[in-house]
Amino acid sequence: MSGKRNIAVVLGTRPEIIKLAGIIRLLEGNREVIYTGQHGDEDLSSNFFDSFRLPQPDLRLEGVGGASRGSQISNAISQLNAHFTATRPRLVVVQGDTNATSAGAQAASYCDIPVLHVEAGLRSYDRTMPEEINRRVVSVLADMNCAPTLRNADNLANEGISPSRIRITGNTVVEALQESLPPRDVSLKVVRDHGLFDDGFVLATIHRPENTDDEYRLAAILDELSRIPLPVVFSVHPRTAIRVRAFGMEGKLEKILCRTPLDHPTFLALARHARVLVSDSGGIQEECTVLKKPLVVVRQNTERPEALESGFAVRVEAGADISNSVNRFLEDRELLRSLETAPCPFGDGKASQRIAEIALSMAAGEDPPFCDFGDYFSYSPK
């Protein structure tokens, strides 16, 4: 392919960095990385570039992090529009369902630049979720939708997206986890350093607005975590920490082992040796199926039903169902053993390679290849 830096990768949050890292590396000198700063906290985003062996972004937008959703998107679109007008990349790549994803796809479309959407076709069918609106907007704009699963591809087709604009690639989370997961001896040391024992604790994260911005839901969740009979390690997101202080709930954390946000390898090390996971994160719904760990999903709905249908996760709302669901996992050793051999529904660890090939073809003006999955469910962590 002629030319350099002709693929612009737009991202703004920690999950986007994690899931796009493999693609960015495979694109090598053909890409530039644009960081919107949606997650302005250094602990949540910037240091992840180093963690994933990525260069610092070629362009950082200004005034996006910490703003309202509308301001984030409009400000990012304005800056991206100016940049794309000046540089004219041949392709813009976005990932997932964030404000950065929506802004990147809109700015590219307004500049008549093709858009490739990584992790396309996820649907919760809940329009109260900002992410659902972002996903749907980008699907309409994207020239190529890289769907992780057949269900995701069907969602897109049912919305009238042409099959020529859809490729089933698997989810890049599989190879991202494979790369970040420390060797077993290292991860066991992490567990010991936290004063814990293998298979002897529960790992929890809570950060979604539906759980943290509602005082009663947040109180119920913290009370439920305190009732779990095993030690609970709680990786506390900045949003959650702010709400705990604002609501005067510090006392509800006394029986919980609180930790500042963990880097990805540390979190995965702990997740690997936890008995059960509790979270409202979308990414952890995918990662649990690779780690072969049971997960209690604390959400009103999910855009990743594959984790529920494959038996790795159960969905509950705030209240007694959290501790009850954890206890059921703790007591059902047969279920835990069955998960050890259950296939991951999100791919085989080759999604980044497939998507990079599609991106390079599109940037070269060629028809993007269809994907050959081979042994799709072959991956399990070493």
201 and 122 co-located in one domain? no
Measured in degrees and rounded to the nearest 5, phi and psi for residue 213 equal -85, -10
232 and 166 co-located in one domain? no
Q: How far apart are CA 196 and CA 77, in angstroms?
A: 46
Give pLDDT, residue 63.
81
**Considering only CA atoms, which of 351, 377, 199, 381 is closest in space to residue 290?**
381
pTM, two decimal places: 0.91
204 and 83 co-located in one domain? no
Q: Judge whether residue 375 has pLDDT over 50.
A: no
Residue 378 in domain = no
Length of the chain: 382
We report the CATH number of the domain holding residue 317 as: 3.40.50.2000
List, for residues 326-363, the tens digit of each pLDDT value: 999 999 989 989 999 999 999 999 999 999 999 999 99
Give pLDDT, residue 53.
86
Q: What is the number of other CB atoms lying within 10 angstroms of the CB of residue 257?
A: 17
183 and 166 co-located in one domain? no
Number of domains in the chain: 2
153 and 194 co-located in one domain? no
137 and 218 co-located in one domain? no
Candidates 83, 194, 207, 264; catalytic one: 207
93: helix, strand or coil: strand
Q: How far apart are CA 337 and CA 339, in angstroms?
A: 5
Residue-range definition of the domain harbouring residue 223: 179-339
CA torsion sign for 60, 63, 66, 70 is negative
Q: Judge whether residue 70 has pLDDT over 90.
A: no
158 and 239 co-located in one domain? no
107 and 36 co-located in one domain? yes
Q: Is 314 exposed, middle or buried (0-12, 13-18, 19+ CB in 10 A)?
A: middle
Give catalytic status of residue 264 as yes or no: no
Q: Judge whether residue 1 has pLDDT over 50.
A: no
List, for residues 214-250, the tens digit of each pLDDT value: 999 999 999 999 999 999 999 999 999 999 999 999 9
235 and 299 co-located in one domain? yes
Q: How far apart are CA 343 and CA 201, in angstroms?
A: 24
Residues with Cβ within 8 Å of residue 196, at least 6 apart in sequence: 231, 233, 270, 273
